[in-house]
Amino acid sequence: SAGEQPPCLSQFHRDGFLVLEGFFSTEECDSMRSQIQGIIEGMEVPPHCRTEFSTREQEQLQAQGSSDYFLTSGDKIRFFFEKGVLDKKGNFLIPKEKSISKIGHALHAHDPVFKQITHSSKVQELGRKLGLERPVVVQSMYIFKGLKDLQKPSLLAVTPHQDATFLHTEPLGRILGFWIALEDATQENGCLWFIPGSHTNGITRRMVRAPSGASTCVEFVGSEPTYDDNQFIPLPIKKGGLILIHGEVVHKSELNSSESSRHAFTFHVMEAKGTSWSQENWLQPTPELPFPSLYT
């Protein structure tokens, strides 16, 4: 009857996440991977990654360049590198594709392949099943999850977090992540881990834009809780699988200790009906790219 949800969706509301194996085809996954290869081949290393520094003042300028590059990436396709992979001149110490940690944050708007996946009829249908009335796409990222052969494995583990810490709305509960495995994600290569049911307690901290003139571009407000490792369960998923992620569910990923990469494409959707997007979020819609509707 109307108003009743399919069993899997009640599971989503209970756990705060849902695994849908085989949501995308092998061909769709491969098209995203080859598209990203082409994007990397044409990549220019951003100036703030290339400068050789001497003075404190120049270091501050570089940090500012790095902040601006991040803060203004919401409507562009930009490159974010692992630590220690570039020398001071911006030359790669290891192959480029192993040096990038992610590409974001508007692949869904500017790249035909990622746009087509994000707005695919099956994603739209899932949005309707979830009862989303006016969903808009706020950001997208291609995540590489590099290998342990980096000299300095740095950001390869993602600490426990809630997406709503970074993408805050009033009221809460309006952010939904779509996480697509472009290769099998296993416990060895850094699959996602979740605390089931942890999406019902609100959030305890927020990342906000720092006041202008501050030393960093963003700051955290509130406290970071400590989570009990035993509460997390791993969600290995095969290539083509989709994980739906509630904006407040606590999740993490561990180091990739395997010999294989773990590529993923992820995007976030906001139910815009009756929702206000925080002016303090790092990511802001722009005149060039207002958040596009998921339904086309």
CATH number at residue 209: 2.60.120.620
Burial of 244 (0-12, 13-18, 19+ CB in 10 A): buried
Split at pLDDT 50, 70, 90, the class of 13 is very high
Any domain includes 128? yes
pLDDT confidence of residue 254: 87
Give the chain's largest Cα–Cα span.
69
The more confident residue out of 108 and 254 is 108
Any domain includes 152? yes
Distance CA 227, CA 58 (A): 39
Number of domains in the chain: 1
Any domain includes 53? no
CA atoms within 13 A on the CB side of 78: 18
The residue range of the domain holding 154 is 7-25+108-277
What pTM does this model have?
Answer: 0.93
- pLDDT of 82-140, one tens digit each? 888 888 888 998 888 888 989 999 999 999 999 999 999 999 999 999 999 999 999 99
pLDDT confidence of residue 47: 87
Burial of 85 (0-12, 13-18, 19+ CB in 10 A): buried
Whether pLDDT at 1 is above 50: no
Any domain includes 83? no
Whether pLDDT at 67 is above 50: yes
Any domain includes 36? no
Any domain includes 127? yes
Any domain includes 219? yes
Residue 279 in tokens = 């002016």
Residue 45 in tokens = 């290393």
Task: Tell me whether the omega of the peptide bond preceding residue 47 falls within 30 degrees of 0, making it cis.
Answer: no
Whether pLDDT at 9 is above 60: yes
Residue 90: which residues within 8 A CB-CB, separation 6 or more? 45, 49, 50, 51
Q: Work out the percent of the chain whose per-residue pLDDT is above 70.
A: 94
pLDDT confidence of residue 147: 61
The pairing of beta strand 205-209 with beta strand 264-271? unpaired
The mean per-residue pLDDT over the stretch 284-292 comes to 96
**Amino acid letter, residue 252:** K
Question: Which residue is it, tokens 């009640």?
Answer: 10
- pLDDT of 24-62, one tens digit each? 999 999 999 999 999 999 999 998 888 777 788 888 888
Any domain includes 253? yes
Split at pLDDT 50, 70, 90, the class of 148 is low
Distance CA 58, CA 64 (A): 10
Whether pLDDT at 155 is above 50: no
CB atoms within 10 A of CB 24: 22
